[in-house]
């Protein structure tokens, strides 16, 4: 059992490595520091990933000998895990859960909500629609599609799974949106849903009047109907609770990664109007952001 009393006995050294200085990352760091500092004496050392990757900073890590590393972003997490297999790493701001499986000393809070949570919210926004399409690369997402099939049946949707093995196949896949598809549901997929394909996917959604459930606030701002989103400060606080357990003596193996505990979402009211959709007032009122 871990105890906050253990934290109070010594000053813990925490190294913070971040992909970016953008505001969401800073919010997560503030939340992390506020939560964990309330439980004991902590000394923080912050390194941007670009600086951490220098050979001098690698030696600095050896000098600091942190008790724990807090990483923000996939690149920062992968880099830190290559530097040490001994020091526990708590990661957040990562969209894909495989980063937690690649190293035995990494746990944290992903940006990814469980598919069950995502389908439950899909039902709130689309209580009467049935046909849901997902574009996916079978190499990357076959297991997620199997889970999505089961969930769609349980919740009352008909899943239309459209495989896309390369970007060249994407135009043909998007043509199928005109075949009785009511919703296009995005899942993280490097082949289908990336910065390189976003414009093409959004245009197909708009022209076919098939609302896209996006991957982030930026997708919604650019033309997706809605997306689940994040309270970044709370992601930091949730990460700090895991860090407290590790600093108190828990093992990484006994501290599994978590999905975000606080669910927020963003809505594009302009897209809803274009697609002749009505958004229930309670969903509009409780949205993190509404683009109109």
Tell me, yes or no, if the two domains 4-111+231-261 and 115-228+265-291 fold the same way: yes
Rounded to an integer, what distance in angstroms lies between the CA atom of residue 230 and that of residue 286? 13
pLDDT digits (tens, 9 = 90+) for 160-188: 999 999 999 999 999 999 989 999 999 99
Please determine, for residue 264, whether its predicted confidence score (pLDDT) is greater than 70: yes
Q: What are the domain boundaries of the chain?
A: 4-111+231-261, 115-228+265-291
Of 78, 80, 92, whose CA–CA distance to 52 is shortest?
80
The mean pLDDT value of the chain amounts to 93
Tell me if 100 sits within 8 A of 110, measured CB to CB: yes
Q: Is the pTM of this model over 0.85?
A: yes
Which strand ranges, in their side-by-side order, compose the sheet holding 89-92?
41-48, 11-18, 68-72, 89-92, 106-109
Q: How confident is the model at residue 9 (pLDDT cuts 50, 70, 90)?
A: low
CA dihedral 103, 17, 189, 279 (to 10 degrees): 130
Would you tell me which CATH number, out of the four given (3.40.50.720, 1.10.10.10, 3.40.47.10, 3.40.50.2300), belongs to the domain 4-111+231-261? 3.40.50.2300
Sign of the alpha-carbon dihedral angle for 231, 234, 239, 242: negative
CA angle 272, 147, 260 (to 5 degrees): 65
Q: How confident is the model at residue 56 (pLDDT cuts 50, 70, 90)?
A: low
Non-local (6+) Cβ contacts of 9 within 8 A are none
Tell me if 174 sits within 8 A of 117, measured CB to CB: no
Of 229, 235, 259, 264, whose CA–CA distance to 31 is shortest?
235
Q: What is the mean pLDDT of residues 250-267?
A: 97
Of 70, 72, 68, whose CA–CA distance to 19 is shortest?
72
pLDDT of residue 1: 44
pLDDT of residue 39: 78
Rounded to an integer, what distance in angstroms lies between the CA atom of residue 72 and that of residue 14? 13
Of 50, 49, 62, whose CA–CA distance to 94 is shortest?
49
Q: What is the mean pLDDT of residues 28-45?
A: 94
Q: How confident is the model at residue 8 (pLDDT cuts 50, 70, 90)?
A: low
C-alpha of 287 from chain center = 18
60 by Cβ neighbours in 10 Å (0-12 / 13-18 / 19+) ranks as middle
Please determine, for residue 243, whether its predicted confidence score (pLDDT) is greater than 50: yes
- Give me 109's structure tokens: 């809070």
Q: What is the fold, at CATH topology level, of the domain defined by 115-228+265-291?
A: Rossmann fold (3.40.50)
Mind giving me the DSSP string for 98-121?
HHHHS-TTEEEE-SPPPHHHHHHH
Q: How confident is the model at residue 265 (pLDDT cuts 50, 70, 90)?
A: very high
207 by Cβ neighbours in 10 Å (0-12 / 13-18 / 19+) ranks as exposed
Of 152, 122, 272, 258, whose CA–CA distance to 211 is shortest?
272
């Amino acid at each position: 059992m871990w105890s906050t009393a253990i934290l109070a006995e010594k000053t813990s050294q925490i190294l913070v490595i971040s992909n970016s200085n953008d505001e969401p990352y800073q919010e997560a760091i503030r939340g992390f520091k506020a939560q964990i500092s309330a439980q004991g004496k902590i000394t923080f050392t912050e390194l941007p990933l670009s600086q951490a990757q220098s050979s001098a900073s690698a030696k600095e890590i050896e000098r600091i000998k942190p008790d724990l590393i807090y990483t923000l972003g996939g690149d920062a997490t992968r880099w830190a895990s290559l530097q040490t297999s001994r020091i526990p790493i708590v990661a957040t701001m990562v969209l894909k859960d495989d980063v937690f499986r690649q190293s035995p000393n990494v746990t944290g809070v992903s940006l990814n909500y469980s598919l069950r949570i995502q389908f439950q919210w899909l039902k709130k926004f689309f209580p009467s629609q049935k046909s849901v399409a997902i574009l996916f690369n079978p190499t990357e997402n076959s297991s997620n599609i199997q889970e999505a099939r089961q969930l769609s049946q349980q919740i009352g949707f008909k899943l239309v799974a459209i495989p896309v093995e390369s970007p060249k196949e994407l135009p043909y896949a998007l043509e199928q949106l005109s075949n009785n598809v009511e919703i296009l549901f995005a899942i993280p997929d490097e082949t289908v849903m990336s910065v390189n394909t976003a414009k093409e996917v959004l245009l197909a959604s708009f022209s076919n009047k098939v609302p896209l459930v996006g991957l982030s606030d930026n997708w919604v701002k650019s033309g997706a109907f809605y997306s689940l989103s994040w309270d970044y400060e709370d992601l930091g606080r949730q990460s700090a609770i895991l860090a407290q357990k590790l600093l108190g003596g828990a093992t990484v193996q006994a501290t599994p990664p978590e999905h975000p505990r606080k669910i927020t979402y963003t809505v594009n009211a302009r897209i809803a109007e274009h697609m002749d959709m009505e958004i229930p007032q309670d969903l509009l009122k409780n949205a993190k952001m509404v683009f109109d």
